[in-house]
Structure 1
Amino acid sequence: MPNKFIIFIITILFGCNSKNSSPSNLDGANGVSELINHVEDTEMQARVRAMLGIGLPTLDNDNAEEFLLDWVSDIDEQYVTISTKYGDIVLELFNDVPLHRANFLYKIFRQYYNSSEFTRVVPNFVIQGGNSEEEKPQQMRFLIGKFTLSPEIRNDHIHIRGAIAMSRSYTNNPEKKSSSYDFYIVTGRKYSNMEIASVEIESGIKYSDEQKRLYKKNGGTPHLDREHTVFGRVIEGMDIVDKLASTPTDESDWPLERLELTMRSHVSLD
């Protein structure tokens, strides 16, 4: 565990909540334990244990999926709140995409997203979050691990307005495996009958009457269907999503103002 990151955690997360004396040696597991013992607040202790992953493995493509599904097996949580400077966005996570649900809840449990922001804004398309130019997200990725997720693409979960899905690479990724960190929320636009029919022909998708109705009435991004795993939806706060989506950007779709976010669920830190 690098000293630099532990010192960073002390400074950012604990502030003045630690005991008067400071750990003299932060190297290795003993140093981490000493750090935790210097935090008076028991809830804060639980937070740092989760953030630093005390007792948890570093995940990779060999162990991540088995670990995540086991970790989430006794967790019923379906709802997540994203807080932004404009207000809150409430998400419902789908139970029938268990790996993506587990991954998202685990990243929230590890407090990864509390160091991130929305980094891509494309009008009438999506807002994308889960990364940052800051150092902390990269350090957190080092602690949690680098891995992709097997796709859980379902015909009944489509990219209608308000859908949340994981980003993915389009290079050397025929299996359409998902990123395990970067997500997006669909804003989209409304589609006509002719446009929907064109998408069906081009992609080989056959939409139900209800799905067609939703694309016509509410909008979305149907050309992403069967390309990314949709794992949830916005149930409150689409007006907040729209405010974020109206943020001016540079030529690379990066917002010209910082769109910080934090996330919370009711998963216990114990």
Structure 2
Amino acid sequence: MKSPFYILCLLAILISCKENKDSSNKKSEAEKDTLTKKIEVNIPSNGETDRDLSKIKYLEQEKLIPFLEKYGKENQESIVDIETDFGTFTIELFPEPVLHKANFLRLAKLRYFDTTVFHRVDDNFVIQGGNSDRMATYQFRKAIGNFLIPNEFNKRYPHDYGVVSAAKYADQNVSNASSPFEFFVVTKPDGAYHLDGDHTVFGKVIKGMDVVEKIDELETDDSEWPLKNVGMDVKVER
């Protein structure tokens, strides 16, 4: 017959194992929720008023232009702050690239950019943002749509130092259409004019180029992705 002390020890071990298992299960469920649940966002106009990604209007290519033209008339702000771990820089959006300006404002107000990082740094050339490997970024893109923005390059806005321009996808993009999600800031002191015509400039940094330069100095891996993630908090000011 086992002693009472032995039985008490055995019960204590069994209870401890159960608590550890329960704790592990709870942690596993919490991690699963973090990966799968939809993030909440503020959505500004055109009927997109609920804090739910499922309420975002999914855009198709054929409906893109009238939608963005209408959105641009209803949302005419032109000053945007981009907060980073290195400080804040401010950009002014140009009015002429109507589609690019409207698209950037919309994504900023949806707070899409807040899920992204500066994912490419090519020292003394560009820093590029608007992408990440986060689930939230993937969810946003899936909700917003699969489309390209027609090229709106204007000779009035060449790729000078400090301008903000739209990135584009692979070389087979013969129309030079823009990615709706990714943008870059030119950090080449004497400009990057070989990009003229291929990319659409839609704004410029009017304050905080020292912050941009700090990001431009970051160490990267072989794919130009910074070793330290630099997130952003994009706020439309006026």
1:252 aligns with 2:195: no
Paired residues for 1:184-199 under 5 Å = 184-189=184-189
* DSSP 3-state at the match of 1:49: coil
| Separation of aligned partners in 1, 2:112 and 2:52 | 8
Give the aligned partner of residue 137 of structure 1: 137
Q: How many angstroms does 1:74 deviate by?
A: 2.5
Higher alpha-carbon Rg: 2
Q: Cα 1:96–1:142, aligned 2, differ >3 Å: closer, same or farther? A: same
Give the aligned partner of residue 11 of structure 2: none
Q: How many angstroms does 1:48 deviate by?
A: 7.6
Give the aligned partner of residue 224 of structure 1: 195
Deviations 1:173-204 (A, max 9, x none): 22110110010000003xxxxxxxxxxxxxxx
Q: Is the 8 A contact 2:35 2:135 kept in 1?
A: no
Larger CA deviation: 242-251 vs 162-171: 162-171
Q: How many angstroms does 1:251 deviate by?
A: 1.0
Q: How many angstroms does 1:146 deviate by?
A: 1.3
1:9 aligns with 2:26: no
| Separation of aligned partners in 2, 1:51 and 1:155 | 40
Instruction: Give the length in aligned residue pairs.
Output: 203
Give the aligned partner of residue 238 of structure 1: 209
RMSD: 2.5
Fraction of identical pairs, as percent: 34
* DSSP 3-state at the match of 1:149: coil
Q: Cα 1:129–1:248, aligned 2, differ >3 Å: closer, same or farther? A: same
Q: Cα 1:234–1:50, aligned 2, differ >3 Å: closer, same or farther? A: farther
| Separation of aligned partners in 1, 2:35 and 2:64 | 23
| Separation of aligned partners in 2, 1:251 and 1:168 | 20
| Separation of aligned partners in 2, 1:68 and 1:6 | 30
Q: Cα 1:252–1:6, aligned 2, differ >3 Å: closer, same or farther? A: closer
Q: Is the 8 A contact 2:59 2:147 kept in 1?
A: yes
TM-score norm. by structure 2 comes to 0.79
| Separation of aligned partners in 1, 2:34 and 2:61 | 27
Give the aligned partner of residue 157 of structure 1: 157
| Separation of aligned partners in 2, 1:111 and 1:49 | 13
Read off the aligned partner of 2:166 and give its amino acid letter: M
Read off the aligned partner of 2:39 and give its amino acid letter: I
Q: Is the 8 A contact 2:57 2:143 kept in 1?
A: no
Larger CA deviation: 93-102 vs 172-181: 172-181
Read off the aligned partner of 1:49 and give its amino acid letter: D
Read off the aligned partner of 1:179 and give its amino acid letter: S
Q: Is the 8 A contact 1:112 1:137 kept in 2?
A: yes
Give the aligned partner of residue 71 of structure 2: 71
Q: Is the 8 A contact 1:51 1:110 kept in 2?
A: no
Q: How many angstroms does 1:68 deviate by?
A: 1.4
Q: Is the 8 A contact 2:118 2:127 kept in 1?
A: yes
| Separation of aligned partners in 2, 1:129 and 1:182 | 6
Read off the aligned partner of 1:243 and give its amino acid letter: K
Q: Which runs of 5+ in 1 are unaligned?
A: 14-35, 37-42, 190-218
Deviations 1:76-133 (A, max 9, x none): 2001110000111100000011100000001011110010000000011000000001
Q: Which runs of 5+ in 2 are unaligned?
A: 1-32
Q: Cα 1:4–1:70, aligned 2, differ >3 Å: closer, same or farther? A: farther
Give the aligned partner of residue 182 of structure 1: 182
Q: How many angstroms does 1:5 deviate by?
A: 7.7
Q: How many angstroms does 1:51 deviate by?
A: 5.5
